[in-house]
């Protein structure tokens, strides 16, 4: 249980979270529920949704689930409509659905590249676009989960780097275009966070200690570190923060220590 913030900072808010069944975004969804928000979570996998719903309900939270692939705009529109029908509004949208695997650029197929761009970048656009009317009505906000991979260059990650650079562009553009509607759009760029699917896929266990020594804060991040950043950005404490992607990486990218 996250204890940094008051328990009611998101009281009465409805949060629609993609990829909210597992990992970093699952942690963010749970933290929102622990701080008063009611959740709508979406993922391709029904089993991930059911497990998260059970967990959130076990501590008294509310969790509506709807399966959808963020690459499918019609499915996304239906998920947003179902959420509005269920709760009457949407205040916060979190784009956490993401795809990842390690692959050298010269071995990556165009479809492999396109698949990750479709999930991360087009999926983020689809969800933002489909939730615009709801967010305009609630004067709500969007939080995009990005990465730091593209700040320098990360071998074996050309697809994710390109996709997340696109996500950052979406964050900036929408913050400018939709700010006048009272919608804030921000992002979080997590660095190396332990116990996540991304790290399991990207980092060989024997490299963890070596990499830890190269992180300025001398430790891997925890999912709770991202939860706290997400709570701050979506709370009234950040009501004048717009168009920012907050890096939460212990200073890792500044040293240019590649994860791959």
Q: Decide if 20 contacts 96 (C-beta within 8 A).
A: yes
Number of amino acids touching ligand HXC (CB under 6 A): 19
Q: How many CB atoms lie under 10 A from the CB of residue 162?
A: 16
Task: Please state, in angstroms and rounded to a whole number, the distance separating the CA atoms of residues 30 and 63.
Answer: 10
Site for ligand HXC in 72-101 (CB under 6 A): 98-101
Q: What kind and span of H or E run contains 64?
A: strand 63-65
Q: Provide the token pair at 75.
A: 């499915």
Alpha helices in 183-222, H assignment, sequence order: 197-202, 205-213
Compute the least distance from the CB of residue 18 to ligand HXC, in Å.
12
Binder of ligand HXC out of 2, 78, 115, 235 (CB under 6 A) = 115
Burial of 2 (0-12, 13-18, 19+ CB in 10 A): middle
Task: Please state, in angstroms and rounded to a whole number, the distance separating the CA atoms of residues 41 and 19.
Answer: 7
Compute the least distance from the CB of residue 7 to ligand HXC, in Å.
29
Binder of ligand HXC out of 72, 82, 112, 224 (CB under 6 A) = 112
Tokens 């489909």, residue? 130
Task: Please state, in angstroms and rounded to a whole number, the distance separating the CA atoms of residues 7 and 26.
Answer: 18
Compute the least distance from the CB of residue 19 to ligand HXC, in Å.
7
Q: Which stretch binds ligand HXC (CB under 6 A): 29-37, 77-85, 112-120, 217-225?
A: 112-120
Tokens 């622990």, residue? 34
User: What character string, x for contact with ligand HXC (CB under 6 A) and - otherwise, covers 157-186?
Assistant: ---x--------------------------
Looking at beta carbons only, is 113 or 232 nearer to ligand HXC?
113
Work out whether 201 is an interface residue with ligand HXC (CB under 6 A). Answer: yes
Compute the least distance from the CB of residue 167 to ligand HXC, in Å.
10
Residues within the interface to ligand HXC (CB under 6 A): 23, 98-101, 103, 109, 111-112, 115-116, 147, 149, 160, 197-198, 201-202, 259
């Amino acid at each position: 249980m996250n204890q940094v913030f008051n328990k009611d900072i998101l009281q009465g808010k409805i949060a629609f979270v993609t990829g909210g069944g597992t990992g970093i975004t699952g942690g963010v969804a749970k933290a929102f529920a622990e701080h008063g928000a009611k959740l709508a979570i979406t993922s391709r996998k029904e089993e991930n949704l059911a497990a998260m719903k059970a967990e959130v309900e076990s501590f008294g939270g509310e969790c509506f689930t709807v399966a959808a692939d963020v690459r499918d705009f019609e499915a996304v529109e239906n998920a947003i409509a179902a959420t509005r029908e269920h709760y009457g509004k949407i205040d916060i949208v979190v784009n956490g659905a993401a795809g990842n695997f390690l692959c050298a650029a010269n071995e990556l197929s165009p479809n492999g590249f396109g698949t990750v761009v479709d999930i991360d970048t087009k999926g983020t656009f689809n969800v933002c676009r489909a939730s615009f009317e709801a967010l305009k009505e609630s004067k709500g906000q969007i939080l995009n989960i990005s990465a730091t991979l593209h700040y320098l260059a990360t071998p074996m990650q050309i697809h994710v780097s390109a996709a997340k650079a696109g996500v950052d562009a979406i964050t900036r553009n929408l913050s400018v275009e939709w700010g006048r509607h009272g919608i804030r759009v921000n992002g979080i760029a997590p660095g190396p966070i332990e116990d996540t699917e991304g790290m399991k896929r990207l980092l060989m266990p024997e490299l963890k200690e070596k990499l830890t020594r190269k992180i300025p804060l001398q430790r891997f991040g925890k999912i709770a570190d991202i939860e706290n950043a997400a709570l701050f950005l979506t709370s009234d404490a950040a009501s004048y923060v717009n168009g920012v992607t907050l890096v939460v990486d212990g200073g890792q990218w500044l040293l240019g220590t590649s994860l791959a």
